[in-house]
Structure 1
Amino acid sequence: MTDREKMMENESIGKLLLKLSLPATIAMMVQALYNFVDTIFIGRGVGTLGIAAISIGFPIQMVVMAFGQMIGIGGASIISRSLGAKDKDKAELTFGNMVSTGIVMGLIITIFGSLFLDQLLSLFGATETILPYAKDYMQVIIYGSVFFVLGMIFNNTVRAEGAANISMFSLLISAGMNIILDPIFIFTFDMGIRGAALATVISQIIGFSFLLLYYLTNKGILNFNFNPFKWNFKIIIETFAIGSSAFARQVAGSVMAIVLNNLLAVYGGDLSIAIYGVINRLIMFTLMPLFGVAQGYLPISGFNYGAKKFDRVKEVMSLSMIVTSIFSTTGFIILQFFPHFLIGIFSKDLELISQGAPALRIASACIWVVGFQVIGSSLFQAIGKAGPALILSMSRQILIFIPMAFLMSNLFGLLGIWLSFPISDGLSALITLYFVLKENKIMKTKIANDPVYSEK
């Protein structure tokens, strides 16, 4: 057993969660800061239509990332449980299959996206005035698809083996380069929104190269024995099944954006699409610490579930929910008290600020419950229960938000669209509570029936 495996199985949950979550949280915050700063540069360098364009393009990027998340989180769950069960061969075979599948997926996305970009942008809500800007942006982004997908896969793999610091450095390098390159390409080279896209692609390549070098120099627990012809379809199917919840969550966000952008175009026009772009960045920045904690939580929960240490699984879940709830409540307070200031960071457009501030207050009214929902959903990814994980991933954005957005917009117009956000947050948290309580009873039964626990 390696030192890292001993750490995952025996170190106190508090220290372990801090050790794995802190690097992930820092990395996620820097990534969110990049999105934040990127939008500021585009807003100041291109204008309101530039912000609207990335609001249209970002959901397409989310679809690309969804494939990376599906393979990365699904495979990482298998790797964590395999390492917990002392089956390193299966863990390494899974890693190789993740990389092979990721390359194929990335190439398919690039080809499909290049051929049907105009249709995709129109589907995602691009108006005639926004379309030229969105096309300039996404024509560049789509060629980086392979690196987006592989970056997600490698980041999840290093976290699965407990090397959270390596994942953090990769994301820090990528985000840092993006922040440096953005103003150079946008302003110095006068490339506008296309320059922002180029900065993003180059930064993703650099971040992925750092992770690839980590494995090529044999610094990880897993050996990188990449063989594109060594396919294990049982592992691939299990990877897709477990990762389907993460995929659904990401794609659900894109489907939600399609509905939202099109409804906003009808009820509010280009300005409302730009406002959503700013609100989305602010809420994402607020919620990133939650996802950082979740990334630290996943390998701990998965490893100990594989090792049949169910008391540690319950302990890390409870602690993670407390921490994420503190973060989400803090974010709620900040967004409620300083909306004009926060939106004014992105643009000097007084109309955007005056209409955006009340919309931000409404949209963020229930984000204080999201911390619980994120960890509750992550529990089922970690322990390999694809069904509940899929339902919880889809609940907020697909099962609740989309019907609510249509209903509320018909009743209250633009105001109804913004009201759909807190309603969806609250209802999805209640659904999560039901599934978590049910799983908690199952783990209590396992603990009660296991002689190892009975002797304690």
Structure 2
Amino acid sequence: MSKISSQDLGTQSIQKLLIKQAVPASIGILVMSLNILVDTIFVGHWIGATAIAAINVVLPVSFFIAALGMAIGIGGSSIISRALGSQHYEKALKTFGNQITLTLLLTISLVVLGLSFVDNIVNAFGGKGAIFEPAKTYYTIVLYGVPLLALCMMGNSVIRAEGKPKFAMYAMMIPSVGNLLLDYIFINVLDYGMAGAAWATTISYGACFAYVLWFFLSKKSELKIRVSHFGLTPNIVKEIGSLGFVTLARQAVVSITYLFMNNILYDLGGETSVTAYAIVGRMLMFAMFPVLGVTQGFLPIAGFNYGARNYARVRSTINTAIKYAAVLATGVFVLLMLFPEAITRMFTTDVEVIKQTPSAMRWVFAATPIIAVQLIGAAYFQAIGKAVPALLLTLTRQGFFFIPLILILPKFYGELGVWISFPISDILATLVTAYFLNREISRTLKPERNPI
């Protein structure tokens, strides 16, 4: 086998590698987030504020199914990165084939199930009153394209594991740009309303899938799998599942959070509060793109060097990633503290929504400067194949702290209790993650463990 570019992960400087990996990942996340952001703006201005709430109801369901692809992708990519680092190329190929089979089997099954209980699911996730019908329309159409999105998410992680972040970036940009163009045509020109927004999203998923398929069939990819690689191997499936479950559990908790938030806010403030949360949620997806980009760039570097037993490089990668992510998170914090009302006005002209959202946005992002430790810490354990601590640290913020807080604090502080739950859970989760990450570094990544 010829020398592969993934070997650069073990030789180039950490700073250069992290920038090389993180910048394309950040750009890809930025474009994807801008797509969600602009899509919401288009829907809010061309259809109405209720349509924003309707999409927010559907997102946790479609994202959870798509997150299966992301989970399988990240779980398998951790194996692939370490396999490439330790020169086990056949294991990398077998892992990729198993990822494809698992993604298809699971997502198609869940889509069939999701379409069988449309009314119940939409209602359970907060699609009530005037929100129900547009949410049902959007949900039904988008769900058809979710398996394609899952395959794209899975493939994107594998592309990064190969050390080709620019191609991963292109894969994220294609559906975003396509969706915005189709939004304009289907909503503004053809006046298809919510159905137009849904079809624009679904068709854009198809375009992304076509690109990812081209990448792996072309000479760009190092992973040239055969039919035999598609057969499920118990040990590989178990390892993909244990590591991928971390990502899946995180998205499952996000979906549960949406369920609670939409219902709690609807009871406290009606459709206006749900819309305010939808806008803040879009900013959570958009504003954090540089920090998430660093986290995505960190994963293959840490995994490869851990597989190569180069622990000094792993320590350096952790420290550099946290520093970069913290600086970027602080920049995000400053912007959102200064301009929350201007940001809100981009989404809607509804007076009540504009009145309520800025305060909520400030509370939600109040602890943003410190979250780098939590994100990089949880990602580290996933990168090195330690599924249990990765799972527990991933669930710490939303599962162990945030959900209990939003169930308790609103009883005493009303709607304010919902918003202050965000920074409290961020602080607590960061403290817990910092403790376990520091302990792991002192035990596992000692200098004397480096190979001579």
- TM-score interval (norm. to shorter): over 0.9
The change in CA–CA distance for 1:282 and 1:434 in structure 2 (over 3 A counts) is same
Partner residue of 2:157? 156
1:97 is the counterpart of 2:83: no
The change in CA–CA distance for 1:86 and 1:449 in structure 2 (over 3 A counts) is closer
Given that 2:142 and 2:201 are in contact with CA atoms closer than 8 Å, whether structure 1 keeps it comes out as yes
Deviation at 1:224, TM superposition (A): 3.2
Given that 2:57 and 2:122 are in contact with CA atoms closer than 8 Å, whether structure 1 keeps it comes out as yes
Given that 2:406 and 2:421 are in contact with CA atoms closer than 8 Å, whether structure 1 keeps it comes out as yes
1:379-406 CA distance string (max 9 Å, x none): 0110000011101111111111111011
Partner residue of 1:51? 52
Given that 2:279 and 2:347 are in contact with CA atoms closer than 8 Å, whether structure 1 keeps it comes out as yes
Partner residue of 2:37? 36
Separation (CA, whole Å) in 2 of partners of 1:128 and 1:269:
10
The change in CA–CA distance for 1:444 and 1:51 in structure 2 (over 3 A counts) is same
Partner residue of 1:63? 64
Separation (CA, whole Å) in 2 of partners of 1:299 and 1:382:
7
Q: Which structure 2 residues correspond to residues 306-345 of structure 1 after superposition, within 5 A?
A: 306-345=307-346
Q: Which structure 2 residues correspond to residues 436-447 of structure 1 after superposition, within 5 A?
A: 436-445=437-446, 447=447
Given that 1:216 and 1:224 are in contact with CA atoms closer than 8 Å, whether structure 2 keeps it comes out as no
Tell me which moved more, 127-136 or 363-372. 363-372
Partner residue of 2:182? 181
1:50-96 CA distance string (max 9 Å, x none): 01101111111221122112100000000000000101100000000
Separation (CA, whole Å) in 2 of partners of 1:426 and 1:65:
29
Given that 1:215 and 1:224 are in contact with CA atoms closer than 8 Å, whether structure 2 keeps it comes out as no
Separation (CA, whole Å) in 2 of partners of 1:223 and 1:444:
34
Separation (CA, whole Å) in 2 of partners of 1:321 and 1:226:
41
- Identical amino acids, percent of aligned pairs: 37
Separation (CA, whole Å) in 1 of partners of 2:29 and 2:319:
22
Partner residue of 1:267? 268
Separation (CA, whole Å) in 2 of partners of 1:450 and 1:35:
44
Separation (CA, whole Å) in 2 of partners of 1:94 and 1:361:
43
Partner residue of 1:212? 213
Separation (CA, whole Å) in 2 of partners of 1:73 and 1:449:
27
Partner residue of 1:231? 232
Amino acid at match of 1:288: F
Structure 1: 4+ residue segments shifted above 2 A: 224-229
The change in CA–CA distance for 1:229 and 1:13 in structure 2 (over 3 A counts) is closer
Deviation at 1:128, TM superposition (A): 2.2
1:85 is the counterpart of 2:66: no
Partner residue of 2:280? 279
Note the residue ranges of structure 2 that are not aligned, 5 or more in a row. Answer: none
Amino acid at match of 2:309: K
Q: Aligned with 1:269: secondary structure?
A: helix
Deviation at 1:244, TM superposition (A): 1.1
Separation (CA, whole Å) in 1 of partners of 2:229 and 2:380:
31
1:18 is the counterpart of 2:19: yes
The change in CA–CA distance for 1:103 and 1:3 in structure 2 (over 3 A counts) is closer
Given that 2:266 and 2:274 are in contact with CA atoms closer than 8 Å, whether structure 1 keeps it comes out as yes
Query: What CA RMSD, in Å, does the superposition of the two structures yield over aligned residues?
Result: 1.2
Deviation at 1:237, TM superposition (A): 1.0
Given that 1:84 and 1:306 are in contact with CA atoms closer than 8 Å, whether structure 2 keeps it comes out as yes
1:160-213 CA distance string (max 9 Å, x none): 010111111111111111111111111111111121111111111111211111
Partner residue of 2:122? 121
Partner residue of 1:418? 419
Given that 1:185 and 1:195 are in contact with CA atoms closer than 8 Å, whether structure 2 keeps it comes out as yes
Given that 1:255 and 1:398 are in contact with CA atoms closer than 8 Å, whether structure 2 keeps it comes out as no
Q: Aligned with 2:209: secondary structure?
A: helix
Amino acid at match of 1:348: T
Deviation at 1:20, TM superposition (A): 1.1
Deviation at 1:218, TM superposition (A): 2.9
Deviation at 1:443, TM superposition (A): 2.7
Separation (CA, whole Å) in 2 of partners of 1:449 and 1:262:
51
Number of matched residues?
Answer: 451
Partner residue of 1:242? 243
Note the residue ranges of structure 1 that are not aligned, 5 or more in a row. Answer: none
Given that 1:109 and 1:145 are in contact with CA atoms closer than 8 Å, whether structure 2 keeps it comes out as no
Separation (CA, whole Å) in 2 of partners of 1:421 and 1:6:
40
Separation (CA, whole Å) in 2 of partners of 1:351 and 1:246:
36
Deviation at 1:349, TM superposition (A): 0.8
TM-score (normalised: structure 2): 0.98
Partner residue of 2:385? 384
Tell me which moved more, 371-380 or 86-95. 371-380
